[in-house]
């Protein structure tokens, strides 16, 4: 299939999709497209006021859309547990869990639980949320967990088990690379553990998309004209996630990204990830550490 677009999304009527970070950027575009095709979309966001404005934007464009807002701060395991309990009560079946939210290159900070912000938000928060919601995901036929990674998983990326929280030294690029590599290791290990179950785990990356995620890059003004040339819109950047979430031909453990040169821009297609991201022993070790740090054990 060439030039896969939102027109190729099959009906999502009767399905529930939980999208983290859905008040802006890629998450908002993902939520819009799913709502337009009939899904009940839950915007799981840290700022609920922004979430409500995003929900209003979606329903203004699609008056028949079913949209809910759920408070979720991935930097707080307390918030993750509270949100998961609310979602489990409200939605006995969750057809799509889209782990989209993230931070990139922030100054060194820690989460409420003392984790380095990038690793704690991008990986541990989503790991915990997925584990806590997995029974509801498994209750839905043909359900999927889609986790958004990045080409950053190839750049200065390693799992620093001797200093996961970057307490000895801090590299914005290295911390982001660790978190995005973790996203892929998590996806592939989750797929192995799902085994023959109906649910699948899939990953995607948006190429280089011009969203708020880039706010910590602090590029000099002279580079502003290049941003539009070298990046793609959030609408295009969301397509790999949407294909991973809805294309009937998708199989567990696959990875989707833009089709253009360097996977920077373009329509979504099946892409490959680094050899390191496919390391089974590394994935199992990260899984065990993630369970210990979050206190969340998966019901598998």
Q: What gap in Å lies between CA 176 and CA 135, rounded to an integer?
A: 29
Q: What gap in Å lies between CA 190 and CA 286, rounded to an integer?
A: 12
DSSP-derived secondary structure letter, 110:
B
Helix ranges restricted to H, 146-279? 172-194, 224-230, 234-237, 239-246
Q: What gap in Å lies between CA 152 and CA 201, rounded to an integer?
A: 20
Strand 200-204 vs strand 40-45: parallel, antiparallel, or unpaired? unpaired
What is the set of active-site residues?
176
| Continuous segment of H or E residues that includes residue 43 | strand 40-45
CA atoms within 13 A on the CB side of 212: 11
**Rounded to whole angstroms, what are the CA distances from 298 to 31, 132, 174, 238?**
26, 7, 28, 28
């Amino acid at each position: 299939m060439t030039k896969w677009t939102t027109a190729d999304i099959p009906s999502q009527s009767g399905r529930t999709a939980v999208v983290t970070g859905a008040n802006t950027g890629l998450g908002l575009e993902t939520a819009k497209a799913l709502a337009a095709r009939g899904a009940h979309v839950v915007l799981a966001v840290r700022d609920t006021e922004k979430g409500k404005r995003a929900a209003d934007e979606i329903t203004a464009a699609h008056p028949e859309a079913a949209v809910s807002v759920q408070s979720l701060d991935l930097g707080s395991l307390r918030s993750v547990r509270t949100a998961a309990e609310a979602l489990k009560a409200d939605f006995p079946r969750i057809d799509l869990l889209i782990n989209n939210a993230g931070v990139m290159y922030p100054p060194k900070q820690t989460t409420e639980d003392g984790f380095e912000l990038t690793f704690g938000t991008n990986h541990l928060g989503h790991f915990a949320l997925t584990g806590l919601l997995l029974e509801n995901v498994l209750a839905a036929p043909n359900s999927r967990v889609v986790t958004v990674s990045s080409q950053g998983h190839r750049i200065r990326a390693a799992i620093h088990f001797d200093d996961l929280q970057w307490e000895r030294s801090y590299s914005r690029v290295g911390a982001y690379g660790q978190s995005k590599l973790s996203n892929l290791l998590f996806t592939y290990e989750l797929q192995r553990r799902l085994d023959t179950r109906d649910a699948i785990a899939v990953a995607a990356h948006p190429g280089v998309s011009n969203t708020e995620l880039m706010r910590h890059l602090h590029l000099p003004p002279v580079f502003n004209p290049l941003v539009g040339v070298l990046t793609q819109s959030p609408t295009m950047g969301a397509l790999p996630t949407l294909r991973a979430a809805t294309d009937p031909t998708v199989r567990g453990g696959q990875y989707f990204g833009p089709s253009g040169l360097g996977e920077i821009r373009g329509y979504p297609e099946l892409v490959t990830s680094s050899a390191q991201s496919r390391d089974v022993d590394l994935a199992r070790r990260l899984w065990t550490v993630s369970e210990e740090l979050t206190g969340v054990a998966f019901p598998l």
